[in-house]
Structure 1
Amino acid sequence: MSTPSRWPLPPESIRFVLPRRMVTQLASHPLSEQLYPLGIGYYQLARGHEMRRERHDDFLLIYCLEGSGRVTFGESQKRRVIKAGDLLVLPRGTPHHYWTEQKDPWSIYWIHFDGSLSQAFVDQLNMDPQLPLLHLGIHSRLVADFEALLDTRQARHHLESYLHSANQLRQLLSHIALLRPLARLQQDEAMDLEKVHSLMQARLHEQLDVETLANAVSLSKFHFIKKYKALTGTTPINHFIQLKIERACHLLDVTNKGIKEIAWAVGYEDAYYFSRIFRKVMGISPSEYRAIRLGQSSYTS
């Protein structure tokens, strides 16, 4: 683990470095070797907190809850401001210097972590390598994820507890990846994604073209498709089809309606075309899907 901060810890803050013996076991255990925490902490109104590392041999994540700070990173020593709701991710090998403002001290959660898939989990966050800072906003569920990791310190000698914490770290990083499109949305007020998706939900029983969706958010068709794909990773029509099939699955689960009726209910007049779309999305036909619900088939065959 990179050298921990020597900042004097006040009673309301927490710094927990995993025992080296446990780190060694996590690094070789098949359930944790891909990703595991090295140190976890919460610093409350951390006036005077500062850290400089020329050598950084693990991964570091900082989530700012209040206050502000500064960071310089990389060989070129780029500088950025860190504010409440910001997430800073410093990959292995990134020299850095961060500190909080005396007049506006930050409160932060932090995690040092490692593992063979650490870089892959960071890559999943889809951050600009030139700007390892993401404005997520304050999310209570994300705070709960950090608190769950901090509970690890209550069981210093039980491997099972640390294996659990390794999987909680997976959950936390994948949760951040899930919040990433929302962060992009906050940075791009010209695109009301919630309005688009509400319109899609309201029109599941019919067809809906891209032009109508673009007009709903006052964008040209070209810019709408481009912005939508940047925010969601897919096209608006693909997402609309996915919503239709999800609705069809629900109807197959909770009603005894025939395939033709369900096709009609999600906007397809041709039941055969509906079945082809359903198979393309789900990998099985509507009747095969219903057979699973009735216990006449398994999930995998």
Structure 2
Amino acid sequence: MDTFRKYLKSEHENQLTQPDWGVNVLNVGHYIHPIGKDYPDPSHPSDYYFEWSKGRVLSEYQLVYIAAGTGIFEAEHIGAVAVQPGTLFFLYPDVWHRFKPHNKTGWTEYWVGFNGSYANHLMQQDCFNPARPLIHMGFNAEFINIFIQLIDTIKFSGLGSNQLGACLTIQLLGLVYASALLKAQSNSRKMQVINNIKYSIHENLNSDISPELLAAKHNVSYAWFRKAFKEVVGQSPGQYQLNLKVQKACRMLTETDLSIAEVAYQNGFESEYYFSRLFKSKMQLSPSKYRNEFYQTVNHDETQL
């Protein structure tokens, strides 16, 4: 596909002679920015050109999709974020921003700038948030095809091009919205599965149930479970399980008169030796010394009363 860009607003084309559908397409384009060249290139109209050191503020919305290459994006509400192929980002009216491809990769970009009453309504939906302007779409053939139709519509400026351009822009926003909802649902399911597995771990602390068995009982693969668990909880399932067992052992050592061997057994450890070695690595004290120091502290506090 040939590169193309058109800035209707800058060319003072009258968009009011045709019915207003609530979304006005102000500019649209597809551009392949070459490796090692300054960005943006000087052919941008003055209303859109910016220097990296200063950034830019627009009076319109823009949807920018990076089909290939890598770069960096930064905006008023977020710090610098790496841009990978398949990433799209939104630019919001009156919000400072800047972005550029890496010199060693360049990038291929599609964009559309728009405004209007219905555009304002759409961009107030939950998934469109200036604090979260980046969404990873990945490669989406339908999304690219609609962008190409939009570019062709504006390029040839036929009868009803404004209305068709508005429809295609709404379709693009609809696909982004659907993608964001699917991602949210996926994250919601992930949280539900992990919370259910965490409950199972708590319920089986006195046994030596394996992470592989936990995954199978919840109908997920072990590879997915291990990755998802670490993303949600911040540690591996095995470490989470061990830490809970050690916490329970601490309570048993200070609240009961059970022997070290009995505490080890009731927490599902295969031997007193293994339990003591693991306990010391986690608490920096052996089980017996942990118990003794606890009692010494309690006795000292009681004598001070």
Q: TM-score range by the shorter chain?
A: 0.5 to 0.7
Distance 1:188 1:43 in 2: 36
Distance 1:186 1:81 in 2: 23
Q: How far does residue 43 in structure 1 lie from its aligned partner after superposition?
A: 1.1
Max Rg structure: 2
The question of 1:136 aligning with 2:124 is answered no
In structure 1, the gaps of 5 or more residues are 1-10, 194-213, 220-226, 228-301
Distance 1:115 1:78 in 2: 29
CA contact (8 A) 2:74 2:81 kept: yes
1:200 alignment counterpart: none
2:32 alignment counterpart: 44
AA partner of residue 66 (structure 1)? A
- Residue by residue over 1:176-202, the C-alpha shift from the partner in whole angstroms, topping out at 9 and shown as x without a partner, is 111223344677894799xxxxxxxxx
Distance 2:186 2:70 in 1: 19
CA contact (8 A) 2:6 2:155 kept: no
TM-score, structure 1 normalization: 0.53
AA partner of residue 145 (structure 1)? I
1:91 alignment counterpart: 92
- Residue by residue over 1:112-139, the C-alpha shift from the partner in whole angstroms, topping out at 9 and shown as x without a partner, is 1111122322233614432210111110
2:107 alignment counterpart: 106
CA contact (8 A) 2:25 2:165 kept: yes
Q: For residue 104 of structure 2, give the secondary structure of its aligned residue in structure 1.
A: coil
Corresponding residue to 2:70 among 49, 68, 71: 68
In structure 2, the gaps of 5 or more residues are 41-48, 194-216, 225-231, 233-305
1:286 alignment counterpart: none
2:171 alignment counterpart: 171
2:60 alignment counterpart: 58
1:121 alignment counterpart: 122
Seen in structure 2, the aligned counterparts of structure 1 residues 106 and 55 have a Cα distance that, compared at 3 Å, is: same
2:219 alignment counterpart: 216
The question of 1:21 aligning with 2:21 is answered no
AA partner of residue 152 (structure 2)? D
Seen in structure 2, the aligned counterparts of structure 1 residues 85 and 192 have a Cα distance that, compared at 3 Å, is: farther
2:286 alignment counterpart: none
Alignment of 1:271-290 (within 5 A): none
Q: How far does residue 152 in structure 1 lie from its aligned partner after superposition?
A: 1.6
Q: For residue 15 of structure 2, give the secondary structure of its aligned residue in structure 1.
A: helix
1:251 alignment counterpart: none
- Residue by residue over 1:195-249, the C-alpha shift from the partner in whole angstroms, topping out at 9 and shown as x without a partner, is xxxxxxxxxxxxxxxxxxx933489xxxxxxx9xxxxxxxxxxxxxxxxxxxxxx
Q: How far does residue 85 in structure 1 lie from its aligned partner after superposition?
A: 1.0
Superposed CA RMSD: 3.4
AA partner of residue 142 (structure 1)? F
Seen in structure 2, the aligned counterparts of structure 1 residues 37 and 93 have a Cα distance that, compared at 3 Å, is: same
Q: For residue 80 of structure 1, give the secondary structure of its aligned residue in structure 2.
A: strand
AA partner of residue 43 (structure 1)? Y
CA contact (8 A) 1:127 1:133 kept: no
Alignment of 1:182-193 (within 5 A): 182-184=182-184, 190=190
Seen in structure 2, the aligned counterparts of structure 1 residues 181 and 41 have a Cα distance that, compared at 3 Å, is: same
CA contact (8 A) 1:22 1:159 kept: no
Seen in structure 2, the aligned counterparts of structure 1 residues 100 and 192 have a Cα distance that, compared at 3 Å, is: farther
Q: For residue 122 of structure 2, give the secondary structure of its aligned residue in structure 1.
A: helix
- Residue by residue over 1:152-193, the C-alpha shift from the partner in whole angstroms, topping out at 9 and shown as x without a partner, is 23433x441221111111111112111223344677894799
Q: For residue 127 of structure 2, give the secondary structure of its aligned residue in structure 1.
A: coil
- Residue by residue over 1:244-267, the C-alpha shift from the partner in whole angstroms, topping out at 9 and shown as x without a partner, is xxxxxxxxxxxxxxxxxxxxxxxx
AA partner of residue 62 (structure 1)? V
Give the number of equivalent residue pairs. Answer: 186
